[in-house]
Amino acid sequence: DTEVTQTPKHLVMGMTNKKSLKCEQHMGHRAMYWYKQKAKKPPELMFVYSYEKLSINESVPSRFSPECPNSSLLNLHLHALQPEDSALYLCASSQHEDGTYEQYFGPGTRLTVT
């Protein structure tokens, strides 16, 4: 299985809501990533988990809270988001976190904050 899955595909939430994005991989990869992608822009790194521990946090606002329950799962908890947080949220995984291995991306969650 060489696929990263994400749920939900689409999410519309108000600024007072709390929601979670989920990501799963069964490739035995030790690194997992959350990216944010705006239209016509490259993916923007948010968080990196290596061996289930948070290793990189790219100064992301605290309204985004990542969680790695086990080596196959990655969650992104959302609360009190702003309209400018509307974007495609991509999860990815790779064998290791050093950036020299292929990153396998999930299909993304299209988030709209109203």
Q: Judged by CB under 8 A, which of 17, 71, 75, 103 binds other proteins?
A: 103
Nearer to other proteins, 70 or 100 (CB): 100
Q: Judged by CB under 8 A, which of 108, 109, 111, 113 binds other proteins?
A: 108
| Contact (CB, 8 A) for 109 and 9 | yes
Q: Does 83 bind other proteins (CB under 8 A)?
A: no
Output the CA angle 105-111-114, nearest 5 degrees.
170
In the complex, minimum distance from the CB of residue 80 to other proteins, in angstroms, rounded to a whole number: 27
Beta strands in the chain (DSSP E): 4-7, 10-13, 18-25, 31-37, 44-50, 53-57, 64-70, 73-79, 87-94, 104-105, 109-113
Q: Does 27 bind other proteins (CB under 8 A)?
A: no
In the complex, minimum distance from the CB of residue 34 to other proteins, in angstroms, rounded to a whole number: 12
